[in-house]
Amino acid sequence: MGESITDGTLATFLKKPGDRVEVDEPIAQVETDKVTIDVNSPEAGVIQEFVAKEGDTVEPGTKIAVISKSAEGVTHVAPSDEKSSEKAAPPPPPPSVEKKEKPKPKVETTSVIEKPKETSSPPKLSATEPQLPPKDRERRVPMTRLRKRVATRLKDSQNTFALLTTFNEVDMTNLMKLRSDYKDAFVEKHGVKLGLMSGFVKAAVSALQNQPIVNAVIDSDDIIYRDYVDISIAVGTPKGLVVPVLRDAGRMNFAEVEKEINTLAKKATDGTISIDEMAGGTFTISNGGVYGSLLSTPIINPPQSAILGMHSIVSRPMVVGGNIVPRPMMYIALTYDHRLIDGREAVFFLRRIKDVVEDPRRLLLDI
């Protein structure tokens, strides 16, 4: 499962007893705190039985199934089905018992109806009290290991860090024009579309280099300065939030950033992303704008010290050169650990993001 993972939950079996499997064919999935891992068959044969059950906690080496290399496994399954059908036959008697018990509820319901008539005060109290929905309209579903892990980490973040968020707004005109002017040539040369995320990643790298304290982290009584930039990209999946990492983002160009983001996002959505691809990270970017978020205060991803929140692009009236003109504007937010990062550095960091996004030419001239 990986060095950092000791156990997992047997989420689901992909095969049934009696099914034939080949070597390395997935027969089950184990859900861990970070990813869902396929359990592959070590041999070719027929599944005789499952030793473990879905929902069980399993560790590396735990036996979960018995596989017969010969076709005899099928013969073992058939009798079990017959036995189960024979066992299923006895249930008919209970209905007769239920029929005998049906008159009893009627007597109970009449007594319940009579009680309100005897006392007049309870109805007056209940009239002022809120009417709660019946329990049969609620569903209780166990949390997945990934969801529990995300919940624990986010709550730990709130309990540990001195969270503070600062905001700014960005005029997206020039970055959107850059993408519009070169999108066809970009796709033709690099085989990937030019998006906005690469512009923000490059802006974040520049801002982290200008304000290295934002890229640092507190460790006990020390501050660890990291002279490399690994940017985590928050990706929402049906199973929960995962944060794959762009390694050495400072050495990537726009095309490499876009390709890596697309690859990691696809793996995260498909559930095939590995633990190594999510380990580490010195800074996180979360783009709530893809869901229509106008403004938010993102929570730091431990053990990092800051996170950048992107939001939706909205056309708003802005004063440019003394005239009111419509401009595509985006609110950006930086949540940071105030124990380590002062407001001055946080504002300068966000200001650098704004300057680079509004004028990408600064990246070429390094100004």
CA nearest to 192, candidates 131, 248, 139, 265: 265
Q: How crowded is residue 156: how many other Cβ atoms within 10 Å of its Cβ?
A: 11
pTM: 0.69
Question: Alpha carbon of 4 to those of 7, 32, 98, 270, 278: distances in Å?
Answer: 10, 10, 53, 22, 12
Q: Which of 342, 355, 359, 366 is catalytic?
A: 342
For position 4, what pLDDT does the model report? 64
For residue 76, indicate whether it is catalytic: no
For position 314, what pLDDT does the model report? 96
Q: Which of 7, 190, 338, 359 is catalytic?
A: 338
> What is the C-alpha R_g of the chain?
29
User: Max CA-CA distance within the chain?
Assistant: 88
Helix axes 103-118, 93-101, angle to 10 degrees: 30
187-219 exposure pattern, b = at least 16 Cβ within 10 A, e = fewer: eeeeebebbbbbbbbbbbbbbbeebebbbbbee
With contact defined as beta carbons under 8 Å apart, do 279 and 297 qualify?
A: no
pLDDT per position in the chain (367 positions), as tens? 666 677 888 888 888 888 888 888 888 888 876 678 888 888 888 988 888 888 888 888 888 899 988 755 444 443 334 444 444 444 554 444 444 444 444 444 444 444 444 444 545 545 566 778 888 888 888 888 888 888 888 898 989 999 999 999 999 999 999 999 999 999 999 999 999 999 999 999 999 999 999 999 999 999 999 999 999 999 888 777 889 999 999 999 999 999 999 999 898 888 888 888 888 899 999 999 999 999 999 999 988 999 999 999 999 999 999 999 999 999 999 999 999 999 999 999 999 999 999 999 998 888 8
For position 95, what pLDDT does the model report? 46
For residue 342, indicate whether it is catalytic: yes
CA distance 68 to 61: 19
For position 129, what pLDDT does the model report? 65
